[in-house]
Amino acid sequence: MKPEIIITEDGSNSLYVSSLNESYHSGFGAINESLHVFIKSGFEKAIEIRKEINVLEIGFGTGLNALLTLKESIQQGIRISYDGIEPNPIKREIYSKLNYPYLTDMPDASVLFNRMHESPSDSKIEILKGFNLRKIKSGLEDVELKPDFYQLIYFDAFSPDVQPDLWELSVFKKLYRTMTNGGVLVTYSAKGQVRRNMQSAGFVVERLPGPKGKREILRALKTGKR
Ligand SMILES: C[S@@+](CC[C@H](N)C(=O)[O-])C[C@H]1O[C@@H](n2cnc3c(N)ncnc32)[C@H](O)[C@@H]1O
């Protein structure tokens, strides 16, 4: 499965996988989507109560969410430990061509983006003071996750139509267990069955307005009240 670099409507790149007929981001804008779904609806909510957070990303992929989170963490003085699960890391010939560092207004964005991709899997690496990254080279289904550990989860797997197993109730139960009370999980999908699976796992689920081209997204909160 060799991804192909494409350009989305806001000028930022994404990757298209022809064998799945699926791209890594919305065609209406990869950066626009990532900022809306993961930063604004997830990160901003999680840091309301803590200035030091453990983040888990399901599907590290291009590293776009990690880069934007790093930028926010610098601007807002938040310490981050970021774990990114990814069974199929993208190769240098791909990540070196992505235009995210040039579109992210942050000093040394290219250096930091490359450092993220070049860091070895399964070790905790300091990308910048206050931002540690551990890439986990495995599928979510095979990873053991510590209980009560994460304050924020970016659920950015391929869509439920393409990868239905990753959106099952058992997966959301696993993610519920690994989150702390007050923890936040965000995803771009607003599918009814996904929402019901999240609720059955114990989350309180909100439907929020989506980014351009998408009516709604989901935010699931672990309130600890059940
Ligand atoms: C929609 S893409 C998003 C990637 C990334 N968040 C980004 O912004 O580029 C989905 C990602 O999930 C990864 N993935 C595929 N199977 C997976 C699995 N079993 N567990 C975790 N991630 C998986 C894919 O390789 C891909 O990088």
The verdict on the CB of residue 26 being under 6 Å from ligand 1 is no
For 69-110, what is each residue's pLDDT tens digit? 999 999 999 999 999 999 999 999 999 999 999 999 999 999
Report how far ligand 1's centroid is from the alpha carbon of 106 (Å): 25
Q: What is the pLDDT of residue 226?
A: 62
CA pair distance 24, 97, nearest whole angstrom = 15
Report how far ligand 1's centroid is from the alpha carbon of 225 (Å): 31
Phi, psi of 149 (to 5 degrees): -120, -45
What's the DSSP call for residue 190? -
Q: Tokens in use for 42?
A: 């997830």
57, β-bridge pairs: 84, 154
Placement of tokens 């540690």 in the chain: 132
Report how far ligand 1's centroid is from the alpha carbon of 58 (Å): 6
Amino acid letter, 131: F
Q: What is the pLDDT of residue 65?
A: 98
Q: What is the mean pLDDT of residues 126-155?
A: 98
Placement of tokens 């490359």 in the chain: 114
CA pair distance 128, 106, nearest whole angstrom = 13
pLDDT at 135 over 80: yes
The verdict on the CB of residue 84 being under 6 Å from ligand 1 is no
The verdict on the CB of residue 66 being under 6 Å from ligand 1 is no
Q: Tokens in use for 114?
A: 């490359």
Report how far ligand 1's centroid is from the alpha carbon of 171 (Å): 15
The verdict on the CB of residue 82 being under 6 Å from ligand 1 is no
Q: What is the pLDDT of residue 1?
A: 67
The verdict on the CB of residue 64 being under 6 Å from ligand 1 is yes
Q: Report the phi/psi class of residue 122: left, alpha or beta, with left for phi > 0 and alpha for psi in -120 to 50.
A: left
CA pair distance 110, 102, nearest whole angstrom = 7
Q: What is the pLDDT of residue 90?
A: 97
For 17-73, what is each residue's pLDDT tens digit? 999 999 999 999 999 999 999 999 999 999 998 999 999 999 999 999 999 999 999
Q: What is the mean pLDDT of residues 180-184?
A: 97
**CB hemisphere CA count around 219 (13 angstroms):** 22
Look at 41 and 226; give whichever has higher pLDDT.
Answer: 41
Based on C-alpha coordinates, what's the Rg of the chain?
A: 16
Confidence band for 225, pLDDT divided at 50, 70 and 90: confident
What's the DSSP call for residue 174? H
Question: In CATH, what class is 29-221?
Answer: alpha beta
The verdict on the CB of residue 157 being under 6 Å from ligand 1 is yes
* Residue of 4, 64, 158, 166 to test ligand 1 pocket, by largest number of atoms within 8 Å of CB: 158
Q: Tokens in use for 90?
A: 């993208």
Report how far ligand 1's centroid is from the alpha carbon of 195 (Å): 20
